[in-house]
Structures are given as C-alpha cells and as structure tokens.
Structure 1
Amino acid sequence: MKVPILRLQNAGDMDLPSYMTEHAAGMDIPAAEDCLLEPGDIQVISTGFAMALPPELEAQIRPRSGLAIRHGITVVNAPGTIDADYRGEIKIGLINLGKKPWQIRRGERIAQMIIAPVCRIIWEETDCLEDTDRGDGGFGHTGMGGSA
C-alpha cells in the first residue's frame, strides 16, 4: 500500500521511516534534531516528516526495545496514536526513565511506527449485556485462581 509522505525542510538529508529487516512489523523513525534527555525529562522530538494516512488506518508510535531496555528511553504515551486526518509533523514524546542523561543525535532511530487498521463502530445501546464466565471481574481477575 502506498501512503503519501512529506519530507519537511528540517529533514532534507535524512532517511524516511523504514523497515530495518524483511519481516519487521514497525518502521524505525529517526530524530530530526539533537536533544539532551536528562533523567526524568520528557521532550518532544521532531522527525522531519508528515504523512497522509487513509481513513481506515492509524499509525502507532512505540518505543525501540533496545533504547528502552539499555537506557530507559521510551515513548511517554506508548503507544502514541496518529490519526488519519492529522497532517502536521510527526513528533515523538520521549521520556528518560534511566539514571544517566541520554544524548539524542540527529538521524538516530528513536522510536518505531506501526501502521494498523482502524475499526469504526456504531454504539447499540442496550438494557443488558451477554453474560460470560468472567463477568465483571476486573484488574488481575484472571490470575487470581478463581476467588477474589
């Protein structure tokens, strides 16, 4: 499927998001700016591109596992959602959960983007819901061995 992508002026020399292996689910996204991320800091990082997703798709922004595990750098609102009607620059909200400052360098891959289908629903109001074995068992219910 082809999706229109616009390289912005701040990223003329940069790579566009891309799949790094043949079977990768997500495309790695490079940063379009340098930024120092101190422990506990949240920064919004420019990527230098915008896109026009069709209405039946969304983009999900997720952490890169290596950055998260080795350095504590993750997407603060993971997964972030980019709606099909958004046309502005894609920016990534990162947080440093690590113990050391992390220098983000222009061109460094900072997140991954998964394109996923969106199912639009129509609510059908009702007086009752179909019963299930779980019922209204909430948080942690399935791991409690049957008794609450």
Structure 2
Amino acid sequence: MQRGFSIVKKYEHDNLNLPMRATQRAAGYDFQAAESFVLPSIWRLPFLKILWQIRHNETIASVDDEKATKVLKPLLVPTGIKAYMGENEYLLIANRSSNPLKRGLILPNGVGIIDADYVDNPKNEGEIFIQMINWGLKDITINKGERIGQGIFMPFLVTDNDQQQVKQTRQGGFGSSGIK
C-alpha cells in the first residue's frame, strides 16, 4: 500500500513544500498555505449587529441575517497539495494546536476528511483546502509557506454488508462527492 503527497498542476512551478512531519514521533504532516492572503476577523459590523439584536430581543431582518452569515462563512485556504493513499484509508485534516491558542484560527468543521478517491477528481485535481475562521479581533495575514494544519493518515473499517451496497464513482471536488 502506498501513500503520500504531490503538488497539483496549478502550483507546480510555485516552489511549494510537500507536507512533512516535524519530529520523529509526530503523527501529523504539516500543511502550508500555497499563497498569501488575509483571513478576516468575524468581528465585523454585520455580525455585531446581529449579536446586538439578539441581546435586545429585536427581530432580525433576513437581509441582516444574510450579511452576518457571509461574515461567519469559513474561507478555504489552498495548500496546492493532493494526497494519495490505500483504498481503506483516509487523510484526517486537523488544526495546529497553536492556531486557536495564539491566533484565534479554528477549523469550523472540527476536522476534515480526505477520502482516497478525492485525489485527481475532475473538479480540482484533488487539491486539499483547509477551512478556517478567524475568531480573533483583528484580520490575520496567512503567508505563503506558513503552516496552517496537519494531516494524519488513518485506516477505516466498513460494515459487513458494505460490498452489497451499490457505490458510485466520485464526481465532485471539495465538500462533495458529486453524488445526490
């Protein structure tokens, strides 16, 4: 069984580093940002306005709700990396322990799951993105090459009747198998 990482074509000339373990006993492979960008703080007027309305038992207009929801929407940090692995494995994407503590950055989904059939999917070549929200008071610049998350290869089990269930081929990219 083989497993590992490679760089997606979009970033093949951008001098990206493949994920590596930092120490001999580290479980996670450190993922870096493929490009620099600003991760805005959630503490913006639309979100604060909703909090004020809730606190004062006011009716929340749908337009205010939509604006606040946009502020709370996580951003996808591109890594430029794809992972290949055995068919009964997945790559668990977790936050770095220092991100929430030192920078207020969290993964809103808790962990990400990269399935073995995500690699080379037709939507995005299997590029791994890390969802992040900035709970800090100020916008944060994430620089290209900065460590933003970690990936841990894990085996998984299936049920006794799994082979009897009809499976489809993945069609979708990030956040979707493409199967309805």
TM-score (structure 1 length as normaliser): 0.77
- The amino acid of 2:41's aligned partner reads P
Matched, 1:43 2:75: yes
Q: CA deviation at 1:46?
A: 0.9
Matched, 1:70 2:102: yes
Q: CA deviation at 1:122?
A: 3.0
- The amino acid of 1:110's aligned partner reads I
Structure with more helix by fraction: 2
For the 8 Å contact 1:11–1:49, the answer to whether it is kept is: no
2: CA distance between counterparts of 1:45 and 1:83? 18
2: CA distance between counterparts of 1:11 and 1:32? 11
| Structure 1 runs, 4 residues or longer, greater than 6 Å off | none
User: Unmatched 5+ residue regions in structure 2?
Assistant: 43-71, 120-125, 162-180
Matched residue SS, 2:144: coil
Structure with more strand by fraction: 1
Q: Which residue of 1 aligns with 2:33?
A: 31
What's the Cα RMSD here?
Answer: 1.6
TM-score (structure 2 length as normaliser): 0.64
Matched, 1:22 2:27: no
- The amino acid of 1:74's aligned partner reads I
- The amino acid of 1:6's aligned partner reads S
For the 8 Å contact 2:39–2:142, the answer to whether it is kept is: yes
1: CA distance between counterparts of 2:4 and 2:98? 29
Q: Identity, % of aligned pairs?
A: 33
- The amino acid of 1:59's aligned partner reads L
User: Unmatched 5+ residue regions in structure 1?
Assistant: 124-148
Matched, 1:3 2:3: yes
Q: 1:11 to 1:62 in 2, by over 3 A?
A: farther
- The amino acid of 2:110's aligned partner reads A
2: CA distance between counterparts of 1:115 and 1:122? 23
**Which one of 128, 153, 163 corresponds to residue 90 of structure 1?**
128
**Which one of 83, 96, 102 corresponds to residue 140 of structure 2?**
102
1:30-85 alpha-carbon deviations (Å, 9 max, x no partner): 01011101112521011111122211111111111111111111222121101111
